A and B are shown apart, each in its own frame.
Chain A
Amino acid sequence: MLNSRRLMLQTASCGFGALALNSLLAEQSGVTGNPLHPRVPFHPARAQRVIFLCMSGGPAQLDTFDYKPQTGKKPHPGSVFRFRRHGESGLHVSELLPETAKQADKLCVINGMHADTGIHAQSFLQLHTGERLRPRPSLGAWVSYGLGTENSNLPGFISLNTSKTSVYSSGFLPSIHNGTPIGVNGEDMTRATISNLPGGTPRQLQRKQLNLVQSLNRRHLTQSDGSDELEGVIRSMELGYRMQMSAPDLLDLSGETEATLRRYRVGEAVEQIGTCRPTDFGRQCLLARRFAEAGVRFIEVNHGSWDQHKNHRRDLQANCQATDAPIAALLSDLEERGMLDETLVVWGGEFGRPGLVPGDGKDETGHNARGFTFWMAGGGVKAGYVHGRTSGTGAQAVEGKVHFRDLHATILHLLGLPANDLTWFHQGRHHRLTGPDGGQVVSELFA
């Protein structure tokens, strides 16, 4: 009775595909039920992992990637910084991003992004979870749930310099998919670490101690008819123990060459200029590469705030300067290491901004969720390509429109996951990242 009703609900709410996937996932996670066990993708994956460069606050697309020159007799909103075409692709990049511009031929620019609301909190949550009003699992948690981790010594989802738990939360997904936060948003990353990594107990004694605990735990397990739960305890104690060996090394940049540190601008934090905080963004980018190498599936890197209402020109310039060289270094470094092909780099924020009108003396911008820019690079997307278009003043997306749910669908698809069928049964129905409407996979972006 109970089972048939549950089955009915499951099939009725999201169809059989979703149901089958759930059990398939359960199967793949193995008899021992390790939910982080790496899984085989559902269709050929173009990317193995994601580095999400999250630019919070609403980066001004018209002065970075979406070039809007003046067209009419009367001045209209548009780009107020100079643009040039770059690389073989001839992509337009603003003068504020000279280093990124050198990587233009790697970028797949999406100029037709649009979202539902210009309210920061809501749109930021929607960018991360697909839902703007209530807590839901973050994109990274879905990826960890869908793919597991390639490195049994590390979590599947790490969020650097992160601001709020809601954006790296596993929501209703098992909390092993929760993002592991490193560093507090807006603070200097130099001191950032994972809680409780260093212990007072000498390593050798701790191993001995863990052996004793595991022996007692196994006895408890035997007495309890081999409960899965207690089995899970034993496994997770072991992973925790191993994490404390690998994570500190990954966080320690002393093994990197001077040249690499310079290239990423590690430690060259600029002073706080308006909304732009000196967080050592270069360190984040370098850590992201190190975590990517170590097999973490989803790494979020944060910079903010791009919400330069007043002093648009000065603050935007500062934000660009703080991020330009580190991002360029990340892209070229990934390429040199042969990792760019399998690493999807995504850049963008919760929305964009309207353009200034050149020469009208104003220097203040608001929010624009009706048209803005994201870019991707690596991981199976076209290089040196522009998708979509906003209107002549950049006010709204008019061609090749991509909503957050489409972006999510596209990212999941690139990772080999079924965009609209990666689901979790919670409170009586199947939930998915792309929401009730589902997302469109933007296959035009694929290389």
Chain B
Amino acid sequence: MFGYRYLSNIHRQIVFAGFRRAAIRCCVVIPLLVLSSGSVDLQASQPEEMQSKRRFFETRIRPVLIRHCYECHAADSGELGGRLLLDHAVGLIQGGESGRAILPGDPAGSLLIRALRYEGLEMPPSEPLPPAVIADFEKWIADGAFDPRTDPPVATPDIPETPPEHWAWSPPQLPAIPDVIGQQWADTEIDQLVLKEFEAAEQRTPNDASSRIVARRLYLNLTGLPPTIQQLEEAEELLGEKSESGLESLVDRLLSSPQFGERWGRHWLDVARYGESNGNDGLGRNPTFPHAWRYRDYVIESINSDMPWDQFLSEQLAGDLLPADNDRQRDRQLIATGFLALGAKPAKAMNDDFTMDVVADQIDTIGRGILGVSIACARCHDHKTDPIPTSEYYALAGILTSTETMWGLAANEGLTAPKTDLHVLKTPPAVLPPEGFVETVLVLESNTGRPKPIPKPPWPAGTPLAMGVRDRGKPEDCPINVKGSSKNQGDIVARGFPKFCSPELMEVPEIDPARSGRLELARWITHPQHPLTARVLANRVWMHLFGRGIVATPDEFGLYGEAPVSQDLLDYLAVRLVEDRWSLKSLIRRIVLSRVFRLEAVNPDDRAQIAMATILPQRRRLDAESFRDGVMSVAGVLDLEPPDGSLIRHRDILVNLAGNLHESSPHRSVYLCYLRSSPPPELMPFDLPDFTNAVGQRAETTIPAQALFLLNSPFMQRQSAALAELICRAEDEPRRRIEFLWKQVLQRPPETEELNEAMEFVRPQSVESDSTDVLWRALCQSLLMTSEFRYLD
């Protein structure tokens, strides 16, 4: 045995000796450059020993570096790989993104050797060098890594120690409230801040909008529903009052209605990339998340109860680590951590980076969703503009790799995602599937074509479960994944938080090594001095209320993002938000009580206007949910009671095998089943995001698919029929019906011309013409299609 191994080792050496010679032969053609006369030896050596070291370097090391490494790791490389220079002695010592390349005297501890041996890192990437060449490098490092290449190094692109000045990196300051000439005009401090800009530019502020428009704006913005005609009349009365108290009581009423949480919860669900299935895993498979809806309900309830935003965020990041006084609170906090578990994952099959893909989604959602910074691109390289080095990405990643993410059974498809545990809740009742329910969506065995049996779930039927996270048994720091590949591991980075948004005056929590660090992450993010968290929220609130953010890039506050139109205004709102104990309702109340909220919508394309005017009320199309809810509300068929659970609460299946899982529902849109890659068809045409990453602001496009939906969809047919029935039941006389219809849909009586057109429309014109029922339905549908109904002016 011994003898054999010995022999085979010798044999190997002989074989590779040939290789080595070949390599050297190839390399002598490369001119032996830069034996710089003025070079300073890094090692103090005896002249003779030095001679031999130099010879060794020049014959065994330098040619290999030139041949195999310089393409990516030299000063003149097109793109410098991993910020590592191998064409200079200092480069090797200093190292790159993954840390020092060599430790002279310690080959085993040198990253370069690990990379050449393809241990973690794999260099050169094309194929490993022959072992004999690697042995040369080991010897070279063991002998002190003599390297004569000591000309002044070419400067490498570097991340500066102190982040560059950028408005968003330092905490918001309460601005001085300016004196304005039009003190009379301004109702609030917000108005003064806005008016100042108009006065400075000697421009007129837009006119006040009519009380009908203001009431519609308040209702649609705060509840996501248009007012009924009665509500509108009442609101107009309140708005007409001399004192402010009428407006205030209207606003307070809307803020305390349960519809408020459904509306504003939906905004947060976009940011949380909430989905009830994984979405296509890249191999076509799309497993359901049967318990995701608990997170949806959590969000709506928290916003309705005006949970302080810092607490809201903390529960989502670390609810499992927070103390709980009772089981209800414990359950709520566990459900909150679903925030981190809802991500859309690529398939596990053949994907070595799966774990880090999960982490990348979490970091991206925290980054763009909460902090308004894309940290996630530092997964593969130092951020191109913002001061986020790869190491800080992996400092955050360590917190999340020390965390167990629990998405559940993933439809028992291990190739998509391995099964995980779930949080078992103590307080919600066990809900069993309806009697006689049999799962019909089954995976077929590829060989036999027979359905695969569904494995027995690990929990008793009906157990209340929640997606979420918890700390792993042994938290560990995370190594850098060079160029985002988990096969290519660099230095291990201690868990921590990005420095660029941790200004000096803000104490940075220290991470307990025995825990993941999520609690500290939550504390860091919700620190009152954090420069981003409150600003990002304040900006989004403004954006939802006016149509455009003070910062036009709501998920991007870094150097790539837009600058705020008025930093004073943004900071004013952010500081007040924190002062008001992070109360979302107080912030909204503060804004909608301002006079600027009640101004007429300006045309966004008017180039003459000052920047400030671009963030005043904008005309907007109702989003998918508001449109559907609005249609059903005016048709009199919307059920405002929230439903229990979700369409798929008992179904751990692959959505892609199911065809259409959606059913029409009388409830508000927020309670529809938000399956990724298979969204509710009633919402789909109206710029629904795909919920694979955080979206602060939805797109608003106008496409023919929307027209087709309005003209032909079964939904529109159903609703028009319901609306026609409603108006025909309420009034007999055509003229009265039309007036009723206009008030019901547009909350105003028809103008004379409109009345005439509508009268003409419903008059049967010939013998073969359509029945009156059909005509009334078509008229109702027409009104629901109008831009006036579908837009918020």
**Chain A interface (Cβ < 8 Å from any Cβ of B):** 1-2, 5-6, 9, 118-122, 124-125, 133-135, 155, 163-166, 169, 174-176, 178, 180, 185-186, 194-202, 205-206, 208-210, 212-213, 215-217, 219-221, 224-230, 232-241, 243-244, 367, 427-429, 437
Q: Let me know if A196 and B708 touch, CB within 8 A.
A: yes
B757 touches A212 (CB 8 A): yes
Residues of A within 8 A of B753 (CB): 219
Select from chain B the residue with minimum beta-carbon distance to A217: B787
Q: 5 smallest A-B Cβ distances: which pairs?
A: A121-B282, A240-B707, A428-B560, A199-B712, A240-B704
Against A, the Cβ 8 Å flags (1 = close, 0 = not) of B448-480 are 000000000000000000000000000000000
* Among B677, B709, B782, B790, contact of A164 (Cβ-Cβ < 8 Å): B677
* Complex contact A200–B712 (CB within 8 A): yes
> Do B690 and A135 have beta carbons less than 8 Å apart?
yes
Alpha-carbon distance between A443 and B504 when the two chains are bound, in angstroms? 55
Shortest distance between the CB of A157 and any CB in chain B (Å): 12
Give Cα A230 to B786, complex, Å.
Answer: 10
Tell whether, in the assembled complex, residue B282 and residue A122 are in contact, meaning their CB atoms are under 8 Å apart: yes
CA A165 to CA B284, docked complex, whole Å: 11
**A120-B692 CB under 8 A given contacts A209-B778, A427-B560:** no
Q: Which residues of A contact B565 (CB under 8 A)?
A: 2
A6, B778: Cα distance in complex, Å: 47
Is the beta-carbon distance between A429 and B787 smaller than 8 angstroms? no
- What's the least CB distance linking A197 to chain B, in Å? 7
Q: For residue B563, which residues in chain A have a CB less than 8 angstroms away from its CB? A: 2, 5
Tell me which residues across on chain A come within 8 A of B284, comparing CB atoms: 163-164, 185-186
22 A-B pairs within 8 Å (CB atoms) are namely A120-B283, A121-B281, A133-B484, A163-B280, A164-B282, A165-B677, A195-B705, A196-B708, A196-B713, A199-B712, A201-B774, A205-B775, A206-B711, A209-B781, A213-B785, A220-B787, A220-B791, A224-B601, A229-B702, A237-B707, A238-B707, A240-B711
List B179-224 residues whose CB lies under 8 Å from chain A.
Answer: none
Q: A165: which B residues are within 8 A, CB to CB?
A: 280, 677, 690
How far apart sit A213 and B775, CA to CA, in the bound complex (Å)?
Answer: 14
Q: Which residue of A lies closest to B483 (CB)?
A: A116
List 8 additional contacts besides A194-B708, A196-B713; criterion CB under 8 Å. Answer: A118-B350, A121-B282, A163-B280, A175-B687, A209-B778, A217-B787, A226-B603, A233-B790
- Complex alpha-carbon distance, A9 and B283, angstroms: 39
**With a CB–CB cut-off of 8 A, which chain B residues contact A163?**
280, 284
Contacting B709 at CB < 8 Å: which of A118, A186, A195?
A195
Query: Which of A118, A194, A227 is most buried by chain B, counting CB atoms within 10 A of its CB?
Result: A227
| Residues on B with beta carbons closer than 8 Å to the beta carbon of A119 | 282, 346, 350-351
**B559-599 interface code vs A (CB 8 A; 1 in, 0 out):** 11111010000000000000000000000000000000000
Report whether A216 and B786 are in contact in the complex, using a CB–CB cutoff of 8 Å.
yes
A208 to B556, CA, bound (A): 46
Q: Check A166 against B280 for contact (C-beta < 8 Å).
A: yes
Contact partners of B783 in chain A: CB under 8 A: 216
- Considering the chains assembled together, what is the distance between the CA atoms of A208 and B711 in angstroms? 12
> Which of B282, B350, B782, B790 meets A212, CB within 8 Å?
B782
Using a CB-CB cutoff of 8 Å, which residues 768-793 of chain B contact chain A? 770, 774-775, 778-779, 781-783, 785-788, 790-791, 793
Contact check: which of B708, B712, B790 meets A201 at CB < 8 Å? B712
A241 touches B687 (CB 8 A): no
How far is B685's CA from A209's CA once the two chains are assembled, in angstroms? 21
Q: A164-B280, A178-B703, A428-B553 are in contact. Are A213 and B782 (CB under 8 A)?
A: yes
- A232: B residues at CB distance < 8 A: 702
Q: How far is the CA of A241 from the CA of B717 in the complex (A)?
A: 16
Question: Would A124 and B560 count as touching, CB distance under 8 A?
Answer: no
**Chain B positions within 8 Å of A174 at CB level:** 701
Q: Are B704 and A243 in contact (CB under 8 A)?
A: yes
- The answer for the CA separation of A194 and B782 in the assembled complex, in Å, is 22
B754 at the interface (CB under 8 A from A): yes
Chain B positions within 8 Å of A198 at CB level: 712
Distance from A58 Cβ to chain B, minimum over Cβ atoms (Å): 11
CB <8 Å contact, B754 and A216: yes
Q: How far is the CB of B364 from chain A (nearest CB, A)?
A: 9
Please name the residue on chain B nearest to A307 by beta carbon. B283
Contacting residues, chain B, for A219 (C-beta < 8 A): 751, 753-754
Q: In the bound complex, what is the Cα–Cα distance between A2 and B565 (angstroms)? A: 7
Question: Quick one: given A135-B693, A213-B782, A220-B787, are A427 and B677 in contact (CB under 8 Å)?
Answer: no
Is B699 interfacial (CB-CB < 8 Å)? yes
- A155 with B687: in contact, given A121-B346, A201-B711 (CB under 8 Å)? no
Q: CA separation between A349 and B246, bound complex, in Å?
A: 64
Question: Contact: A120 with B619, CB < 8 Å?
Answer: no
Looking at chain B's contact residues, the main secondary structure is loop
Complexed CA–CA distance, A220 and B783 (Å): 12
A427 touches B708 (CB 8 A): no
A239 touching B704 by the CB < 8 A rule?
Answer: yes
Task: Check if B16 is an interface residue, CB within 8 A of chain A.
Answer: no
Q: How far is the CB of B217 from chain A (nearest CB, A)?
A: 15
> In the assembled complex, which residues on chain A have CB atoms less than 8 Å from the CB atom of B619?
224, 227, 229-230
B611 close to chain A: CB less than 8 A? yes
**Contact of B556 (CB < 8 Å), options: A195, A217, A224, A428:** A428
Q: Residues 642-661 of chain B: 1 if any A CB is under 8 Å from the residue's CB, otherwise 0?
A: 00000000000000000000
Tell me the residues in window 736-779 of chain B with beta carbons closer than 8 Å to chain A beta carbons.
751, 753-754, 757-758, 761, 770, 774-775, 778-779
B706 at interface, CB cutoff 8 A: yes
Q: How far is the CB of B577 from chain A (nearest CB, A)?
A: 24
Bound together, the chains give a CA A226 to CA B604 distance in angstroms of: 11
CB closest chain-A residue, reference B721: A200
A175 touches B786 (CB 8 A): no
Nearest-neighbor residue (CB-CB) of B712 within chain A: A199
Q: How far does the Cβ of A322 sit from chain B's closest Cβ, in whole Å?
A: 18
A366's closest neighbor in chain B, by CB?
A: B350
- With beta carbons under 8 angstroms apart, the residue of A122, A196, A225, A236 that contacts B603 is A225
Chain B stretch 103-148: residues in CB contact (< 8 A) with chain A: none
Task: Evaluate contact between A196 and B785: CB separation under 8 angstroms.
Answer: no
Minimum Cβ distance to chain B for residue A423 (Å): 15
Give the complex CA separation of A298 and B419 in angstroms. Answer: 40
Contacts of A215 in B (CB 8 A): 757
Residues of A within 8 A of B687 (CB): 175
Task: Provide the bound-state CA to CA distance between A244 and B605, in Å.
Answer: 32
Instruction: Please indicate which of the listed interface residues A119, A124, A210 has the most CB atoms of chain B within 10 Å of its own CB.
Output: A119
Chain B residues whose CB sits within 8 angstroms of the CB of A244 once the complex forms = 708, 711-712
Q: Which residues of B contact A221 (CB under 8 A)?
A: 787
A135-B690, A178-B703 known; A1-B786 Cβ under 8 A = no
Tell me which residues across on chain A come within 8 A of B778, comparing CB atoms.
Answer: 201, 205-206, 208-209
B711 and A241 contact, CB distance less than 8 A: yes
Decide: B556 and A228 in contact? CB cutoff 8 A: no
Enumerate chain A residues within 8 angstroms of B699, measured Cβ to Cβ: 175
Nearest CB of A to B673, in Å: 17
Quick check: is B414 within 8 A (CB to CB) of the other chain? Answer: no
B761: chain A residues within 8 A (beta carbon):
208-209, 212
Any A CB within 8 A of the CB of B681: yes
B611 partner residues in chain A, CB cutoff 8 A: 1-2
Closest approach, in angstroms, between the C-beta of B71 and any C-beta of chain A? Answer: 14
- In this assembly, does B347 line the interface, its C-beta being within 8 Å of a C-beta of chain A? yes
Q: Which residue of the partner chain B has the closest CB to A243?
A: B704
Q: Compute how far the CA of A2 lies from the CA of B607 in the bound complex, rounded to whole angstroms.
A: 13
Closest to A178 in B: B703
**What is the bound-complex CA distance between A54 and B316, given in angstroms?**
41
Cα distance A205–B775 in the bound complex, in angstroms:
8
Nearest chain B CB to A33 CB, angstrom units: 9
| Chain B, residue nearest A200 (CB) | B717
Docked Cα-Cα span, A332 to B565, in Å, equals 58
Q: Which residues of B contact A228 (CB under 8 A)?
A: 603, 605
Which B residues touch A2, using CB under 8 A?
562-563, 565, 611
Please provide the chain B residues from 682 to 723 with a CB less than 8 Å away from any CB of chain A in the complex.
684-685, 687, 690, 692-693, 699, 701-713, 717
Residues of chain B within 8 A of A120, CB atoms compared? 282-283, 347, 350
Q: In the complex, what residue of chain B is closest to A234 when comparing beta carbons?
A: B787
